[in-house]
Structure 1
Amino acid sequence: MVKLYGKNLSRAEAEALSGSLGHAAGVRLMTLGDGLERGIRMLEFRSGSGLRFTVLVDRAMDIADCEHNGRAIGWHSPAGFRHPGLHDYEGEGGLGWMRSFSGLMITCGLDHILFMAESATPEYVYGPRRTAKHSLHGRAGTIPARLTGYGETWEGDSCTLWAEGVVTQGTVFGEHLELHRRIEVAVGSDEIRLSDRVVNRGFYDTPHMFCYHINVGHPVLEEGARYLGPIRDVVWAAHAEAYERQGVGYRTMPAPQMGFHEQVWQHEMATDADGRVPVALVNDRLGLGFMVTTRKDQFPCMYEWQNLQAGQYALGIEPSSNHVLGNGAARERGELIRLKHGEERRYDTAFTVLPDAGAIAAAEARIGAIAAQPEADYPAPSGTFLPIAGRS
């Protein structure tokens, strides 16, 4: 059954109500036509529950806008949804990525994440380039996808909206990686399902790192919004040397700040019986929240990003394939994934809107049943980066 406007409907009942499901739910392709966005292909999804989100085909099929019954979920930065043709990956000493950084979700990878790094590349057997210079968070997020399909699929009385595409990151004498992405939402639901496969199509043993920069903005983020996670340990904080200087802990968010310097935390998360990690930002005043659910064997690490500067106001939930220590440490610790020809890694993630107080309470109970997060706003970082093992 599909649920539309408070009623459970069979396929025949839903089709009797209109000449097209599109009056209530659907996915359609359009092209943006002005400013920095001009020329970007975009898919608009409407689930029929009040959930609407957009997928930028020409930016790695990342999720840009997201809202529920007119209430915004995703973050919009001053950079806007910049056309990839305007992007300078190596610009500003590797920080050019910031000029294309906006939206609910940005893909980081496919062979590098986190801060700028230079790594040896003997695997590519090319003398003139003995090292690779990596800019912030890698190349993937501004590569256009090849759109392989989209639409609606009925199975009995259930209907799924979906889109699929392939993002290719390749070069001569270097990596040849593909990101195969499928995005789904069931008609009548408040949950986006993201299924990714990163495949090595080349014949070099190729490094692979992966992260989602999931950015929640106003009004979910406002003064008093709460971060919820099954935190077993606070491993690291970027600002540990001046832990309380800005007066912002990990749990409760303030109003927009002036002169705020970003804060990043790495939390060691516990899992439920199925190996899943749910993390949420909730706004009790509005009765609105957003939850991200990942698999620990796919994303063993989780960061919390606080950019609470006025005009830039965002909270990031960042599941990652590696510790925040970065590319060099991943190599030194033997934790860098290397893919041989045809090998792949899967990532299965759910984004769930929590549309009311009841949904928030259920999510909080689910998370709390896995592990009780620290009650202190400034728990002392342990510095214990557990070895990463057991990847799927």
Structure 2
Amino acid sequence: MPIDNRNNTAARAAMLARVGSVQQAAYARPIEYQEGRAHGLKAIEVKNGPLRFMSMADRALDVAQIEYRGENLTFLSKPGLNGRNQFDTNGLEAQRSIMGGLFFTCGFENICAPYVTPAGSKYPAGSYPMHGRIRTTPAEHVSSDARWTENGDYVLEVSGEMREAELFGENMVLRRRITSVYGTPSITVEDEVINESFRDEPLMWMYHCNFGWPLLDEGAEVVIPSLKATPRDETTAADDTPWSEIGAPVENRPESVYLHELAADADGHSFAGVVNRKLGLGVVIDFAAADFPYFMEWKSMGAGDYVVGLEPSNSSVLGRGWHEERGDLHTIAPQTSERKTVAFTVIEGETAIDALTARRDALVGKA
């Protein structure tokens, strides 16, 4: 078991007495993949005791693979890990480079379906690929660190910045910091987006969080303090299984997508998670509800595409065109910035899972 070093400087000495190198238990280590579609892909491997994850330096520092006690928690799509490739910005062909993972960042000019600005629009002409361009943007100024703090924490950290820019177009910078504290099975992602152009720019911003087998399996449950779940389309409306229930994979079953209205606590915080009582594990996403006025659930029970996506967002899954027609496309002013934070925590055991469902019930009951 990891030594609990939180707020205890004596734990540092206790741990160092038991190891030759701290890297027996925790490290942040640059790596590079050597074959297949991932050839040349640079990443940071982070180990925090039983928690292990990869931050993709060549893909916006998004967290692709994550494991807890050797169990995979997330979905990896059929193409597998991808490095830099030609499928970055070509409409629906983006599906050939969407890997899944704990999260990939969607935006900033578009999320969800590809979109082409129609003739006569007040917005500049443009062709916007599925889920935008930022997710395939390589990071610059990449840094990884592992260090003791004054209060006895051993902090693992990855940071860098990504730029989405075009001649005569946008100039958006995403500055990202990912931290994890030894002894705590949690990852915190702190992001800042800066508009370095001299005009208002669209800022559609979504975290596409993807959970897969063995965490996702028959009998697992999606835990969301949902006040209302609206089907995206007729296919979803015809799905007679509850949005919260996970069944076995079914050949060629179509995806279902729900738009949720979430309850929040007195401090404005909300959450979403997936739990598997048989496995005794779950993953919870925590965030400020005001940062994400939209929340979507992507439920794909198809064999080979077996995944649940939980998607806190500042824009709707209905897409850029929907917002343009409504006149409420979210924009950011020149030379200003916006910040968002999301935290991912692994929970373990029946008591922790019960506490999460009780948290959901309390929020829904108070709304």
The TM-score by the shorter chain falls in which range? over 0.9
Q: Percent identity?
A: 32
Instruction: Identify the residue that residue 387 of structure 1 maps to in structure 2.
Output: none
Residue 168 of structure 1, aligned match among 158, 163, 171:
163
How far 1:5 sits from its partner (Å)?
5.0
Contact persistence 1:287–1:355 (CA under 8 A): yes
Gaps of 5+ in 1: 374-392
- Name the SS of the counterpart of 1:324 in structure 2: coil
Find out whether 1:84 has 2:79 as its counterpart.
Answer: no
Find out whether 1:138 has 2:135 as its counterpart.
Answer: no
Q: Summarize the alignment of residues 1-392 of structure 1 with structure 2, pairs less than 5 Å apart.
A: 4=2, 10-48=11-49, 50-90=50-90, 94-102=91-99, 103-119=101-117, 130-156=124-150, 157-234=152-229, 236-240=230-234, 243-244=237-238, 246-372=239-365
How far 1:204 sits from its partner (Å)?
2.0
How far 1:247 sits from its partner (Å)?
4.0
- The 2-side partners of 1:238 and 1:65 are apart by 28
Contact persistence 1:27–1:162 (CA under 8 A): yes
- One-letter identity of the residue aligned with 1:18: V
Seen in structure 2, the aligned counterparts of structure 1 residues 242 and 82 have a Cα distance that, compared at 3 Å, is: closer
Q: TM-score, normalising length from structure 1?
A: 0.87
Seen in structure 2, the aligned counterparts of structure 1 residues 87 and 152 have a Cα distance that, compared at 3 Å, is: same
- CA deviations 1:327-354 (Å, max 9, x no partner) are 1222333322222222111111011111
Seen in structure 2, the aligned counterparts of structure 1 residues 325 and 239 have a Cα distance that, compared at 3 Å, is: closer
- The 1-side partners of 2:138 and 2:339 are apart by 20
- CA deviations 1:45-101 (Å, max 9, x no partner) are 1111x11111110011011111100111011111111112342411xxx11111111
Contact persistence 2:5–2:12 (CA under 8 A): no
Contact persistence 2:236–2:256 (CA under 8 A): no
- Greater alpha carbon shift after TM alignment, 146-155 vs 251-260: 146-155
- The 1-side partners of 2:305 and 2:359 are apart by 31
- The 1-side partners of 2:195 and 2:119 are apart by 16
Contact persistence 1:123–1:206 (CA under 8 A): no
Contact persistence 1:166–1:179 (CA under 8 A): yes
Once superposed, which parts of structure 1, at least 4 consecutive aligned residues long, lie more than 3 Å away?
5-9, 120-125, 239-242
Contact persistence 2:222–2:274 (CA under 8 A): yes
- One-letter identity of the residue aligned with 1:360: I
- One-letter identity of the residue aligned with 1:110: F
- Name the SS of the counterpart of 1:28 in structure 2: strand
Q: TM-score, normalising length from structure 2?
A: 0.93
- One-letter identity of the residue aligned with 2:94: W
Contact persistence 1:190–1:353 (CA under 8 A): yes
How far 1:6 sits from its partner (Å)?
6.8
How far 1:132 sits from its partner (Å)?
0.7
How far 1:155 sits from its partner (Å)?
1.6
- CA deviations 1:281-318 (Å, max 9, x no partner) are 11111111111112111111110001111111100001
Contact persistence 1:180–1:198 (CA under 8 A): yes
Seen in structure 2, the aligned counterparts of structure 1 residues 356 and 227 have a Cα distance that, compared at 3 Å, is: same
Seen in structure 2, the aligned counterparts of structure 1 residues 178 and 121 have a Cα distance that, compared at 3 Å, is: farther
- The 1-side partners of 2:67 and 2:235 are apart by 37
- The 1-side partners of 2:326 and 2:122 are apart by 22
Seen in structure 2, the aligned counterparts of structure 1 residues 372 and 284 have a Cα distance that, compared at 3 Å, is: farther
| Count of aligned residue pairs for this structure pair | 362
- One-letter identity of the residue aligned with 1:104: L
- One-letter identity of the residue aligned with 2:18: L
How far 1:120 sits from its partner (Å)?
6.8
